[in-house]
Amino acid sequence: MSATSNGSARFLIVGPQGSGKGTQGVLVAEAFGVPQVATGDIFRANVSGGTELGKRVQAIIEAGDLVPDALTSELVRDRLAQPDAAGGFLLDGYPRNRGQVDDLSGFLAGRGEALDAVIELEVPRDESIARLRERAVQQGRTDDTEEVIANRLAIYERETAPILDVYREQGLVVRIDGVGSLDEVTQRIFDALAGRGLVAERSGGNGAAA
């Protein structure tokens, strides 16, 4: 069950690679009782599973480039059509450019839905790079090499950061300082969402319903 007062919890989390958005996204999604939908995870699972989709996107992902919008948007539309996403969802890594923003608003509007909030996780570039280098050592992701990291951050700055302006104009963006301990950042997110009347079942404190 989703847990906000109007019963809807449709979120995006946006931040540069290495901002911790994956980890925070999982925690927020769990607290609100909605699925986290991370396009990067879905693509990687397809690559490692050797599916047709995986074969189509493998080289793109390894170069740190973006998978074409039509393919990505179709994947997300199908995922959001599953019953567990009926009451809400947390999108991580999608939309990533203007075209995808338009695709998403189009298919949400077709369902009579809209986003409730866009969580912007702010982390300085040096900090993101340091965290990505650390993750490269720990997880051995093929797209965490120096060259690919630089490409992914450049794409973020050029194509993804501007989508925040679109959502800012719609009054949807909650900006969160992403520097601090995991718990501190999580608490900042819950506090900021609660300030907009978006209260999770399991956010701990802040008058959240048990």
How far is Cα 76 from Cα 81, in angstroms, rounded to an integer?
8
Q: Which is nearer to ligand AMP, 116 or 143 (CB)?
A: 143
Pairing of strands 9-14, 36-38: unpaired
How far is Cα 162 from Cα 32, in angstroms, rounded to an integer?
27
Residue 64 contacts ligand AMP per CB under 6 A: yes
**DSSP label at residue 97:** S
| Cα dist from 154 to 65, 109, 129, whole Å | 10, 31, 12
Give min distance, CB of 143 to ligand AMP, in A: 6
Q: Which stretch binds ligand AMP (CB under 6 A): 6-14, 88-96, 109-117, 178-186?
A: 88-96
Q: Which is nearer to ligand AMP, 61 or 198 (CB)?
A: 61
Q: According to CB under 6 A, which residues from 144 to 203 bind ligand AMP?
A: 152
Binding mask 116-145 for ligand AMP (x = CB under 6 A): ---------------------------x--
Q: Which is nearer to ligand AMP, 135 or 175 (CB)?
A: 135
Residue 93 contacts ligand AMP per CB under 6 A: yes
Which of 9, 12, 37, 67 touches ligand AMP by CB under 6 A? 67
Side-chain-side CA neighbours of 152 within 13 Å: the count stands at 25
Q: Is 66 exposed, middle or buried (0-12, 13-18, 19+ CB in 10 A)?
A: middle
How far is Cα 13 from Cα 23, in angstroms, rounded to an integer?
11
With left for phi above 0 and alpha for psi between -120 and 50, is residue 134 left, alpha or beta? alpha
Which of 39, 46, 128, 203 touches ligand AMP by CB under 6 A? 39
Counting residues that bind ligand AMP (by CB under 6 A) gives 17
Interface ranges with ligand AMP (CB under 6 A): 17, 39-40, 43, 60-61, 64-67, 72, 93-94, 96, 100, 143, 152
